[in-house]
Copies of this chain bind each other. A is one copy, B any other.
Amino acid sequence: MKVVALAGGVGAGKFLRGLVRVVPPQHVTVVVNTGDDLTLHGLRICPDLDSVTYWLAELADRRRGWGRVGDSFRALEELRWLGGEAWFSLGDLDLATHLTRTQWLQQGRTLSEVTARLCSAFGVTARVLPMTDDVVTTRIDAVDEEGHHLDLHFQEYWVGRRARDGVKGIRYDGAGQARPAAGVAEAVTAADVVVFCPSNPVVSIRPILEVAGIARAIRERRGPAVGVSPIIAGAPVAGMADRLMPATGLEVSAFGAASAYRGLLTCWVIDERDAALAPRIERDLEMRVAVTDTLMTDDEAAERVARVALDLAAG
């Protein structure tokens, strides 16, 4: 069975740890959001690609969620002391990834090629693809406490300003002109199952779908497509999706998240606490629904969620 998973960062990473226990990793292609990518201090940083890679390599810091386990922050602390911009966390080991990626990109390699080399070095056997080799940037139209309009890179909004601004809109700059990375559309078409990881629907999965051709490839293929809700009991499991979903007209609920994928998904996995939403999702969104405990506290729990999702898709 060949599986294609659309992925953001941490939530996807946790889920993918389970998925590769159900499906041989060689049969899994992960298409990762790059709308959050940024250039900082001259380095090209791809937070979601890094999270997915570190989680699949068993190198993620499970307690923090982001970054590498056992990392130190000597460079970052020194940079802060020097008066540099220190709002984006960069571990010393994590820096090696950014330095290596930046150099390889500057040598003319594509982000896909760089990602494949990094995954190979990290021993990741699943195929990890950026959604595109072109630059797509998720930007937030925001309003600060004093009513001033701000046009923020997603990371500035999210990490730099800790999502404290009002959100008026979300743009995916460059997505309309971006082409899917080599292999993305082909993998979607050839997949037995497409899975949307439990990632933020508006800033993790949506940017992938905005890249010309990816949503169409999903829509036109035969076979099931299943998603796992990132929202439990009206709140995101992690992150601050509740600040962003309303700006795009989405209700902050397992129903609202599913509604972002109407016409793309045939199946939707929700948490036990949201069981009451199942009939509405089945009726209004025409998705088959499975109800389970979706909190992925460890790899065993993630495996169980992945199995429920794949069983639902197969059923």
Contacts and interface: CB of A to CB of B under 8 A. Distances in A.
A84 B103 CA distance: 8
19 contacts: A41-B99, A41-B100, A41-B102, A42-B43, A42-B44, A43-B43, A72-B92, A74-B96, A75-B95, A78-B93, A79-B100, A81-B121, A82-B122, A83-B100, A83-B117, A84-B96, A84-B99, A90-B99, A92-B92
Which residue, A40, A75, A93, A122, has most C-beta atoms of chain B within 10 A? Answer: A75
Given A42-B44, A43-B41, A95-B95, A100 B84 contact: yes
Contacts of A79: 96, 99-100
A78 B106 contact: no
A103 B42 contact: yes
A175 B102 CA distance: 28
Nearest to A79: B96
A103 B121 contact: no
Copies of this chain, complex-wide, total 2
A85 interface: yes
Contact of A75 (B81, B83, B92, B121): B92
By Cβ-Cβ distance, the 10 closest A-B pairs, closest first, are A78-B96, A84-B100, A42-B102, A41-B99, A42-B42, A79-B96, A74-B92, A75-B95, A41-B103, A82-B121
Contacts of A74: 72, 74, 92-93, 96
A97 interface: yes
